[in-house]
């Protein structure tokens, strides 16, 4: 079975993330979307909340499984028999960071490959940080996040004030 892992913090999932998931699901037999810990970020949603939000948005993709892990992505992959990490790229700055991480992952396990998938051009500006900022000002989020979670984002941002 051709299995890929799409790791990230997904705080919250955006339409750009969803675009990468849809395209990855069309290429691989099984896709694990894994909510990971990012020690450099203070998340708005906890990991379980992020898993639930993603599950709602990807329910139509029968080959996509959403999980969370505190392990290194390479260990997580090994436990699931996956050999490919999918990383979405919006700009050259994403590539610089992700390329370094890909080299580290390959150093840990030579059997791991990283597939860089360029973002759809209509989502190159989009990030979870932008979503959270826009939500704080009550902006219309329909162009930023899946419709299934818009109210959750507003509710969470307003409860954090």
Q: Catalytic positions, please? A: 17, 41, 90, 128
Residue showing tokens 């709602």: 56
**Contact (Cβ atoms closer than 8 angstroms) between residue 125 and residue 137:** no
Which residues have C-beta within 8 Å of that of residue 27, sequence separation ≥ 6?
A: 2, 4
- Between CA 109 and CA 114, with CA 110 as vertex, the angle to 5 degrees is 90
- Between CA 144 and CA 152, with CA 149 as vertex, the angle to 5 degrees is 110
**Tokens at 151, concatenated:** 């109210």
CA distances from 45 to 1, 85, 119, 132, 146 (A): 32, 24, 24, 11, 16
């Amino acid at each position: 079975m051709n299995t890929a892992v799409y790791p990230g913090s997904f705080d919250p999932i955006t339409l750009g993330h969803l675009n990468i998931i849809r395209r990855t699901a069309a290429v691989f037999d099984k896709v694990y979307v894994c909510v990971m810990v990012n020690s450099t970020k203070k998340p708005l949603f906890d990991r379980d909340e992020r898993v639930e939000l993603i599950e709602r948005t990807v329910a139509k993709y029968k080959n996509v499984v959403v999980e969370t892990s505190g392990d290194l992505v390479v260990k997580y992959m090994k436990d699931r028999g996956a050999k490919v990490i999918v990383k979405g790229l919006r700009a050259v700055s994403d590539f610089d960071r992700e390329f370094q991480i890909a080299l580290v992952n390959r150093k840990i396990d030579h059997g791991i490959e990283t597939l860089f998938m360029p973002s759809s051009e209509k989502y190159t500006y989009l990030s979870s940080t932008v979503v959270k900022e826009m939500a704080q000002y009550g902006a219309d989020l329909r162009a930023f996040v899946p419709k299934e979670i818009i109210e959750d984002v507003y509710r969470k941002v307003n409860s954090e004030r």
